[in-house]
């Protein structure tokens, strides 16, 4: 791996575009408009003079936003802070450089310009015989592209589950705004008992030295609160008027600039305290917290209209607004039926979310190792990749794999008979995983056993075996791995130990638990 200055690999070709103003974007047209916003496509245009068809593939960089995009078809470029970057094809593959740039953590400079920071970086280029190895770059780019596709798939599944739950809610209760099912209604101010929060004195270090969750609006990004960014000590409840909030309360934000565009709602699943910009609601007996959560989500547009402005421009959702917001009150037994369905969907979502986390961790591990030159690319069939590129079959997965190295040693997952047939069933995949686990442990020879490294190697090995079907490790394989590890510990083939740290020039055990293969005698 050789590191090259940014300017040797990438050129700024923004001046070769006639930029288009946002006011001229169309909702449909012949050519895409790409700008520095988060949306993949900002708009469309039919004006050919705005399109440079000779440049693709290019990388689009948001000078203000730091958003990075890859484009391999003719596009128009949006104005205001959008940079078009061309990669030197003699040195690097554009898609490879795109993935590397996405791995770079640029300095945050607000709405200032960030391209000046990007120009300071260096880009790692795989080498062969002291020359840039474009083939390995293509292999790396398509491996990361495949894993990125899995991430997008997981996110799509989660969104589909959210949409399903919304659909079930509307089918059972109707639209809360129109209340076409004629349920009795109640002002939100009378939905239950409201408890206000507070902020302990910042001058009291002993107030902020505990581990009791103290929830503020910045924690209200999820529907279920299990912890918080800030914590307080138990002493706060003895010396101040701050209240403990038992699990199962509805938490809302009632003050702050966040109310200008959003109305965060959540349910605390553990004991918490809340800050002064929030309220906790213990609902009345005929209201179920899951029902009210989804009801308020359906009423958000109406709620935002009721939010008023206090001093210094601060937004608030006060008691007057709560009096004007009416919520339908369906029969409790119907709300209970919805709770059963919601729990089942949430359980499925939890599994998908864990799977998403695992794949994102895999992407991060592969990305880090790829740009350090630590991926074994020997089994990646380049002909298949280039054939797919020539055919422009972007929707097909590419036969690409890389074995993640563990302490500079590749994980070799050997072939077995009827491997393709084994992939077709859960039982077959479990037999394959079992075979690979035993082979992996045999290779360790006393070194650390890494669950993430094994799962990453197994996932990309499956991609190599059958790229068209996109087989993935699922919940059953994760459970199998967990049970197998415990079994190996009982048999004495794996052992739990701790890391060694040096304190005052003395070696001693640290706090990190390590799973290690026992050396065979």
* Per-residue exposure over 151-181, b if at least 16 CB sit within 10 Å of its own CB, e if not: eebbeebbeebeeebeebbeebbbebeebee
Residue 274 pLDDT class (50, 70, 90 cuts): very high
Of 64-73, 242-251, 422-431, the least confident:
422-431
- Structure-block tokens of residue 179: 């209340």
CATH number of 2-129: 3.90.220.20
Distance CA 108, CA 116 (A): 12
Would you say residue 501 has pLDDT above 50? no
Of 216-225, 275-284, 406-415, 502-511, the least confident:
502-511
Widest Cα–Cα separation across the chain: 78
Distance CA 189, CA 401 (A): 58
Residue identified by tokens 């924690």 is 219
Distance CA 398, CA 383 (A): 10
pTM for the full predicted model: 0.65
Q: Which of 320-334, 373-387, 465-479 has the highest mean pLDDT?
A: 320-334
pLDDT at 406: 34
pLDDT at 401: 30
Would you say residue 441 has pLDDT above 90? no
| Nearest CA among 25, 62, 69 for reference residue 47 | 25
Would you say residue 227 has pLDDT above 60? yes
| Nearest CA among 453, 473, 464 for reference residue 139 | 464
Would you say residue 178 has pLDDT above 50? yes
Would you say residue 509 has pLDDT above 90? no
Fold of 184-329: Adenine-n6-DNA-methyltransferase TaqI; Chain A, domain 2 (3.90.220)
Residue 60 pLDDT class (50, 70, 90 cuts): very high
502 with 476: CB under 8 angstroms?
no
Residue 346 pLDDT class (50, 70, 90 cuts): confident
pLDDT at 480: 75
| Nearest CA among 198, 193, 194, 192 for reference residue 273 | 198
Tell me, rounded to whole angstroms, the distance of Cα 91 from its chain centroid: 32
Q: Could you report the per-residue pLDDT of 125-160, keeping only the tens digit for each? A: 999 999 999 999 998 998 898 889 889 888 888 888
Q: Strand 326-329 and strand 375-376: pairing?
A: unpaired
228 with 275: CB under 8 angstroms?
no
First to last CA, the chain: 38
Would you say residue 390 has pLDDT above 70? no
Distance CA 332, CA 506 (A): 64
Q: Could you report the per-residue pLDDT of 21-47, keeping only the tens digit for each? A: 888 999 888 899 999 998 889 999 999
DSSP letter at 69 equals E
The alpha carbon dihedral of 39, 41, 47, 50 has a sign of: positive
The average pLDDT across 321-338 equals 95
Of 169-183, 193-207, 461-475, 502-516, the least confident:
502-516
pLDDT at 150: 87
Would you say residue 321 has pLDDT above 90? yes
- Structure-block tokens of residue 281: 């609601």
Distance CA 133, CA 129 (A): 9
Could you tell me the residue ranges of all domains in the chain? 2-129, 133-175+344-521, 184-329
Q: What strand order describes the sheet that includes 58-62?
A: 10-12, 82-87, 58-62, 68-71
**3-class secondary structure, 255:** strand
| Nearest CA among 129, 145, 52, 47 for reference residue 93 | 145
Distance CA 300, CA 260 (A): 12
Residue 467 pLDDT class (50, 70, 90 cuts): low
pLDDT at 392: 42
63 with 113: CB under 8 angstroms?
yes
Looking at 42-191, list the stretches that DSSP marks H as alpha helix, in order from N- to C-terminal side: 94-103, 115-118, 134-173
* Better-scored residue on pLDDT, 112 or 60: 60
For residue 329, what is the enclosing H or E element?
strand 326-329
pLDDT at 32: 92
- Structure-block tokens of residue 496: 């739990």
Would you say residue 513 has pLDDT above 70? no
pLDDT at 160: 86
Would you say residue 86 has pLDDT above 50? yes
Distance CA 54, CA 31 (A): 14
**3-class secondary structure, 151:** helix
Residue 465 pLDDT class (50, 70, 90 cuts): low
| Nearest CA among 369, 437, 358 for reference residue 409 | 369
The average pLDDT across 50-71 equals 91
Would you say residue 516 has pLDDT above 50? yes
pLDDT at 110: 74
* Better-scored residue on pLDDT, 399 or 165: 165
510 with 501: CB under 8 angstroms?
yes
Rg (CA), the chain: 28
Give DSSP secondary structure letters for 175-230. Answer: -TTT-TT--EEEEGGGSEEEEE-----TT-GGGGSS-EEEE-GGGTTSSEES--SE
**3-class secondary structure, 122:** strand
Distance CA 146, CA 398 (A): 7
Percent of the chain beyond pLDDT 70? Answer: 82
Residue identified by tokens 């300095």 is 107
Count Cα atoms within 13 angstroms, Cβ side, for 135.
10
Evaluate the omega torsion of the peptide bond into residue 413 and state whether it is cis, within 30 degrees of 0.
Answer: no
What are the CA-CA distances from residue 17 to residues 51, 118, 473 (Å)? 7, 21, 44
* Better-scored residue on pLDDT, 385 or 262: 262
Specify burial of residue 15 (Cβ count, 10 A radius: 0-12, 13-18, 19+): exposed
pLDDT at 463: 64
Q: For the chain, what is the mean pLDDT?
A: 84
**3-class secondary structure, 75:** strand
Residue 122 pLDDT class (50, 70, 90 cuts): very high
Evaluate the omega torsion of the peptide bond into residue 61 and state whether it is cis, within 30 degrees of 0.
Answer: no
Which phi and psi (to 5°) does residue 252 adopt? -135, 155
Q: Strand 75-77 and strand 315-316: pairing?
A: unpaired
The reply to whether 184-329 shares the fold of 2-129 is yes
- Structure-block tokens of residue 458: 């197994």
The average pLDDT across 303-332 equals 93
Residue 486 pLDDT class (50, 70, 90 cuts): low
């Amino acid at each position: 791996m050789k590191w090259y200055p940014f300017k040797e690999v990438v050129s700024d070709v923004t001046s070769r575009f006639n930029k288009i103003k946002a006011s001229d974007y169309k909702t449909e047209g012949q050519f895409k408009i790409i700008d520095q916003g988060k949306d993949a496509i900002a708009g469309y245009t039919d004006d050919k003079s705005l399109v440079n068809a000779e440049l693709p593939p290019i990388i689009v960089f948001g000078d203000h936003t730091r958003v990075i995009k890859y484009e391999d078809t003719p596009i128009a470029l949006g104005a205001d802070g959008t940079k078009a970057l061309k990669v030197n094809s003699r040195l690097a593959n554009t898609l490879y450089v795109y993935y590397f740039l996405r791995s770079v953590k640029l300095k945050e400079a607000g709405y200032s310009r960030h391209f000046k920071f990007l120009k300071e970086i260096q880009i790692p280029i795989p080498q062969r015989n002291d020359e840039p190895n474009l083939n390995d770059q293509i292999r790396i780019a398509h491996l990361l592209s495949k894993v990125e596709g899995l991430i997008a798939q997981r996110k799509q599944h989660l969104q589909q589950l959210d949409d399903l739950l919304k659909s079930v809610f509307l089918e059972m209760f109707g639209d809360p705004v129109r209340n076409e099912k004629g349920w009795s209604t109640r002002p939100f101010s009378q939905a239950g008992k409201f408890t206000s929060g507070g902020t302990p004195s910042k001058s009291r270090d002993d107030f902020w030295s505990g581990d009791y969750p103290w929830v503020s609006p910045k924690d209200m990004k999820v529907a279920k609160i299990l912890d918080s960014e800030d914590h307080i000590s138990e002493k706060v409840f003895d010396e101040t008027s701050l209240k403990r909030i038992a699990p199962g309360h509805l938490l809302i934000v009632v003050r702050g600039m966040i109310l200008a565009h959003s109305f965060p709602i959540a349910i605390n699943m553990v004991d918490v305290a809340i800050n002064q910009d929030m309220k906790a609601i213990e609902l009345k007996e005929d209201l179920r917290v899951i029902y009210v959560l989804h009801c308020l989500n359906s009423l958000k547009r109406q709620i935002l209209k009721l939010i008023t402005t206090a001093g210094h421009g601060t937004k608030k959702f006060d008691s007057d607004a709560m009096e004007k917001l009416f919520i339908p009150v369906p029969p409790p037994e119907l709300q209970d039926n919805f709770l059963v369905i919601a729990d089942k969907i949430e359980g499925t979502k939890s599994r998908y979310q864990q799977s998403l986390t695992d794949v994102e961790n895999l992407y991060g591990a592969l990305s880090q190792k790829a740009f350090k030159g630590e991926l074994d690319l020997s089994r990646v069939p380049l002909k298949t990749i280039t054939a797919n590129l020539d055919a422009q079959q972007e929707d097909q997965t590419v036969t690409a794999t890389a074995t993640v190295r563990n302490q500079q040693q590749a994980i070799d997952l050997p072939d077995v008979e009827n491997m393709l047939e084994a992939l077709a069933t859960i039982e077959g995949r479990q037999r394959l995983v079992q075979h690979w686990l035993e082979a992996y442990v045999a290779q360790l020879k006393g070194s650390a056993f890494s669950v993430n490294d094994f799962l990453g190697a197994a996932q990309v090995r499956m991609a190599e075996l059958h790229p068209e079907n996109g087989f993935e490790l699922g919940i059953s394989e994760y459970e199998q791995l967990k049970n197998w590890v415990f079994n190996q510990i009982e048999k004495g083939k794996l052992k739990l130990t701790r890391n060694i740290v040096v304190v005052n020039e003395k070696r001693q055990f640290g706090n990190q638990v390590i799973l290690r293969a026992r050396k065979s005698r």
